[in-house]
A and B are shown apart, each in its own frame.
Chain A
Amino acid sequence: MAEATTTTDSADSRPDAGDERLAHRGPIQQLLTRPEIGALIGAVGVWLLFWLVSAPFGTAGGTANYLDVAATLGLMAVPVALLMIGGEFDLSSGSMTGATAVIVVLLSSDTAELGGAGLSLHLAVPLSLAFALAIGWFNGTLVDKTSLPSFIVTLGTFFILIGAKLGFTKLFTNRVIAEGLDRSGGYEFWDNIFGATWIRNGHVWDDRDWAWGGLLIIGAVVLVLGTMELAYARREHPNVGGYLVSAIGTAAGAIGFILLLEQDGKSSNWIFGIITGAGVLVAVAGWCLARYQRAEREPAQSEHGPRVVRYLIAGLLGIALAIVVAVIIDSENSDRLDFLTGTPGRTVLALGIGATGVLAVLAALGRVSVGYPAIGAALAIIPAISYMVTVQGARAILFGVLAIMGLVLLSLAANRRGLAVAFTLLTSVGIVVLAFFIQSEADSRKLRVELFTALLLIALLLAASAVARLIAARRTSATPAPTPGPLSKIGAMIGLVAGLAFAIIELAQGDGILYGIITGVVKGGIAAFAVYAIDVVCRTLFTSDDSVGRSLVFVGLGSVMLGIAAKLMFITSEELAATRAETRFGVGVMLFLTFAVLGAWILARTQFGNWIFAVGGNKDASRSVGVPAARTKTTLFMLVSASAWITGMVIAFRLNSVQANVGDGNEFRYIIVAVVGGCLLTGGYGSAIGAAIGAVIWGMITSGIGFATWNSDWRFLVLGALLLVAVLVNNYVRSQAEKVR
């Protein structure tokens, strides 16, 4: 439906665009049309919110905490998302996690009165996997053979599993908890696998901050280069002078940055700050001059008239008001506003709720527009604001809202006048002003230093993009598919050799088979990635290859991720001395992240991924073009149960005892999280990475409310509101982005 309208739209607005499949889509637009964009924006928003209100949330300990909650959820949400894309649901997935755990404990423990089977775990663990796979196969086959909705079939398995768990647990142990896994035979071996944890406090690395900072900077630079490569059209012969300018700019920026670090806390900071910023801008300008075709001055599609003037005046007014607010309202006063309390407050609240209801009815009848009920809701919020917000809080909120509104209006005015570049530069300047305002006002170091730095970087990025747009011409045709360079194969070989070498070293040191293998895989992977990165950078600099943009983005993202991983997984001896908390990453977190990447890879790169989309879109049509629909769906069901088995093992080996209702009711969470991540309930569309991000959002909210010491009574209200916002943003952003297409 959406597709049809957008096609006609673009045909109307751009008659010369030709075939839309071949038309160029900029990197930002490509990002915005991804299914997981809403979840991504939501995740960033939630992270910022809790990072602002709570000190421990942003630390490695806080991250370990919410990732742990996200892991048991996400381990299931990723396969459930694949199943949903394939057009089916599995309502038994939640109770299946508990069922596999209960089975293992019951089969292995023989401590209770009636006694479990007393099997060795070497038998019990594979048996429970077999059980899970059998249930998955049963679900899939039944859905396929009977053509019943999977809702009904898996609802049956859901109840059967719940009843069987409770019944068998009580039959064997006469209790509702199955206990004593750690007393079973073979416990050590399996606990090494499913109970493995990475204890951060035990991994001291004093140079960690250099590694993480370096990786972050390299990653950011490569990301920016990749984005430009995707957005702008290459020249046939590079301009060496441009590269020279770029190199000089880079050197200046680097020197400025190093001096900035050396001069920490001195008043000359801003000089070096400006040198750094200018250096970066010069480097970007040089790079664009060297590589890309020159931008032609388009005849400005400027719009005169009262509208632009109104935007301009309103924008200036907004900023002026923001400054006035900041000056007159007391920033020290932490009393509540209390302007509307007692009976009047309650009256307004009741009026607001009543008005919302009445307007909702009118809106449903089509008498007023859909937005009207929001007026009632806004009215109802006023007494709540009076009760909850302090004077200084009101000052901050008012200033922020007015300033942002002003900036947006000014930018709109600039945009209408055809001054898009000016608009970007203006926003950049606005952000710098905001950063300095925050620095001068905020009490906490977090805001003064970290947020300040982040805002300045964002401003720099915006300015750089404006400079690039001034100089370089946009691409007009789609980017060609990336071609692997000569070093890629060598990189894979080197990675393999390095991985083997590291694994052997770890094994020789007696660190255990599992640890040796994982270390080998990870270190080999990093070595291969490094060679690949060098290959990509070489191709970028020395060939006229037009398709490196994607590879550059990949390398940049990978490098940033590695940097974050280094920061999270290692501790400096300074930090170790200062903390009492022990930060642990369970094996569940590692499996969760692996699942997310694997799921994304399957969907994007494999034949099976295409089959999933096909059977989810239209089963009969896909079957008639040769997709093995039944096999695909059954495999998906079995994938979900196998993940349930892994999740169940992780839970069982963490707790050693499993209550019969563990996991019950979580199937809805998996589905909700997948939907937040961009999956459609109707199938055929969605994303595995999105589901993983959704799980992280859920984890951040449940842990974040604890970190912020908010009252947990409101937990589900916050959760529900944020989930709705994520889905709405997803919907809106995507429809807007597709309209442009």
Chain B
Amino acid sequence: MKKLWKLFALLFALTLVAAACGNDDDTSEPAPSEPTEAAVPTDVVEVDPTQGCDKTYHVITHGDSGTFWSVVEVAVRDAASAIGCDVVYFGSNNDALRQSQEIEAAIAAGSDGIAISLADPTGVQSAAEAVVAAGIPLYTLNSGVNNYKDLGATTHIGQTETVAGNGAGERFNALGATHVLCARQEQTNVALEERCNGLAETFGGQVTSEFVGLDANPDEQQNTIAAILQGDESIDGVLGVGPNLPLRALAAGEQAGRELIIGGFDLSSDLIDQIEAGNVAFTVDQQQYLQGYLPVILMHLQATNLNTAGGGLPILTGPGFVDTANAADVKALVSQGTR
């Protein structure tokens, strides 16, 4: 009996550990295909100092070194060379403390403009307020659409999940779907729920929103989608709110013998291949390149020309769409690292 209890205690402890590991995707960074537990060290990119500009800008995010943030990083570098100024990029790898310290260091260094992401708004709040108090223009990017105003940022550059869902809904309207299954790969992720709710807002027909299994169990995802399709004959479209689910929906459609209009979220090269082949109709792309490029340009314009963009509203970088028309071009751009 004692042995049994010990085992139970261990099992319980282990569950906690597993829960703790599984849970660290709670930032609002909307790229669910990117587990953020990578133990890759944070990195600093110094952009070449160029002639004719005495300003220095900082872009300090919670990003890691995954595909999503590497595009942002490339965009920051491109914008820096466009304006010819020093821009420092720093990704804190989901460490709010590191991010705050870096922001404070930027203030001390006399930055001319700071752009930050607000994955953990309370964690970086004091640092962000210090930026505004020091009279330095503040911008937010990627996450933080609900908090940028309170912190005194000029504007926010990013995509809201609801608007992205809205865009997908209009696409399905145009493609003539009547009943769309909004398939989710996580059960309690607010961002994914918002995508489905956004779809239901603009889509003219019926929307069924279901959790179909984790990305860790691809076979379960496919079979569950097939089961739902066979359970409800009226479903003629599937929106997978991640880059893997559209591919599972495609296989499930074959299994259930149904012609489906399939949409997805984010990019992967398998997904672009299927879009190019015409099997998947589109995928929603939040164009994170803009989230790196625009803040730098806007900060530069505010510092040199006193322009304030946005008019108090956020600047949306998406939804952009990848469909048969531009899949081939986007594919080339993905390998270039700018999509």
Contact = CB atoms under 8 A, between A and B. Distances in A.
Contacts of B17: 155
Interface stretch (A58-66, A333-341, A494-502, A506-514): A58-66
Q: Could you say which interface size class chain B belongs to?
A: 35 or more
Given A179-B269, A706-B224, A712-B224, 7 more contacts: A65-B227, A654-B218, A664-B216, A668-B15, A702-B223, A706-B228, A707-B231
Given A69-B223, A167-B39, A174 B257 contact: no
B14 A56 contact: no
Interface string A63-84: 0011011011000000000000
A180 to B, nearest CB: 8
Contact of A704 (B187, B215, B227): B227
A655 B254 CA distance: 14
A707 B38 contact: no
A581 B37 contact: no
B175 to A, nearest CB: 21
Contacts of A706: 210, 212, 223-228, 231
Contact of A663 (B10, B11, B211, B216): B216
A69 B10 contact: no
B35 interface: yes
28 contacts: A56-B231, A61-B256, A68-B223, A72-B220, A151-B14, A163-B39, A167-B38, A167-B39, A170-B40, A170-B66, A179-B269, A581-B230, A582-B254, A584-B255, A655-B218, A659-B33, A659-B215, A659-B216, A660-B35, A662-B218, A665-B18, A668-B18, A681-B8, A706-B212, A706-B223, A707-B227, A709-B228, A709-B231
Contacts of B143: none
Nearest to B243: A177
Nearest to B251: A654
Contacts of B212: 706, 712
Contacts of B215: 659, 661-662
A266 interface: no
A69 B220 contact: yes
Contacts of A681: 4, 7-8, 11
A62 B228 CA distance: 11
A661 B35 CA distance: 8
B223 A66 contact: yes
Interface in B38-85: 38-40, 65-67, 70
A175 interface: yes
Nearest to B335: A113
Interface string B5-24: 00110110011011001100
List the 10 shortest-distance A-B pairs measured between CB atoms, nearest first. Answer: A706-B227, A580-B257, A581-B257, A56-B230, A706-B228, A709-B231, A712-B210, A712-B211, A703-B227, A707-B231
Contacts of B35: 166, 176, 660-661
A651 interface: yes
B231 A708 contact: yes
A612 B134 CA distance: 71
Contacts of A656: 270
A489 interface: no
Nearest to B225: A706
Interface in A507-528: none
B268 interface: yes
A654 B219 contact: yes
Given A56-B230, A167-B38, A580-B258, A175 B224 contact: no
Contact of A666 (B37, B216, B270): B216
Interface string B201-244: 00000001011111111111001111110111000000000001
Contacts of B39: 163, 167
A579 interface: yes
Contacts of A659: 33, 215-216, 218, 244
A194 B66 CA distance: 31
B185 to A, nearest CB: 10
A346 interface: no
B7 A151 contact: yes
A510 to B, nearest CB: 27
A702 B220 contact: yes
Interface string A154-195: 010000001100110010001111010000000000000000
Contact of A703 (B7, B214, B224): B224
Contacts of A579: 257
A253 to B, nearest CB: 38
Contacts of B258: 580-581
B126 to A, nearest CB: 32
A678 interface: no
A110 to B, nearest CB: 14
Contacts of B11: 151, 681
Nearest to B247: A655
Contacts of B210: 706, 711-712
Nearest to B40: A170
A582 B213 CA distance: 22
B34 A176 contact: yes
A440 to B, nearest CB: 28
B219 A702 contact: no
A65 B270 contact: no
